Amino acid sequence: MTINVRDKDGVAILDLAGNIDINASNFVETAGWVLKYKSKNIVCNFNKVNIIDYIGISILAVVYKNILNHKGRMEICNVPTHIKNIFTLVGLNKVFNFHSNEEEAIRYLKEEESIYRILKKKLRRRFRRIPFHAIIEYKQKFSSKDLFYKGKVLNLSAIGVFIVAKKIFSVGEILSTRINLSPKPGIIEIDTRVIWVADREIQPLEYPGMGLEFYNIDHEIQKEILEFINKHLTYSQDI
């Protein structure tokens, strides 16, 4: 596979050509170089991609996780129909947005960035974290297995939770979770993304544990969580 890197409106465009398969390790290397020297906003143009096999999907997952780990964002565009079908088969259609062209993908990145800046300024209370103990159930979102693991929530904010559990997933992994916020709103079913994992040496009291960020959270659900947090903050201040 060959990759051409170019800049457009401060966004790095990766023009991919050929096959994304066992010989596409340069995809990982190029994305890493772009993150370091070019931009953390990346659009991958699939217009000239012929095929992607299961090894190629694994390589794409590595690229995507690496971008997330470096606080970057990745969008894809011009995806041929037969490759969209493969993405749908393995569940990646729920991870990526399929943009018709690079202009649309760039616009999406810019709009998302603007919204994030506004939220960061106006909704600082979203980041308030309260001690909270509850059972959480979770599993890999795109796994064919229906097995849910159990853990304990130690604290909660409107953007995520920290849990301790025996089963730990890697940073960037998307999980389906269930959290019981009693008495109201009750059981919340929400997707989360692993954003950090406790280190045994540095954080022995929090090990084994992981921080989960709410992923593609619905506005109404986040509002309910925020109200729950504010209620408990008020209650704790009154005691």
The tens digit of pLDDT for each residue in 141-200 reads 988 777 899 999 988 888 889 999 999 999 899 999 999 888 788 899 999 999 888 887
CATH code 3.30.750.24 region(s) in the chain: 2-122
Residues 192 and 150: their CA atoms lie apart, in Å, by: 15
Contacts of residues 219-225 at CB distance under 8 Å and 24 or more positions apart, as own/partner, are 221/185, 221/188, 221/190, 222/126, 222/158, 224/181, 224/184, 224/185, 224/188, 225/156, 225/158, 225/181, 225/185, 225/188
Please give the model's pTM, rounded to 2 decimal places. 0.53
pLDDT (mean) for 27-44: 96
Residues 34 and 25: their CA atoms lie apart, in Å, by: 15
CATH code 2.40.10.220 region(s) in the chain: 125-238
CATH 3.30.750.24, domain 2-122, yes or no? yes
pLDDT category of residue 116 using cuts at 50, 70 and 90:
low
| Tokens (6 digits) for 96 | 């990526």
Pick the CATH number of 125-238 from 3.10.20.310, 1.10.287.3510, 2.40.10.220, 3.40.190.10: 2.40.10.220
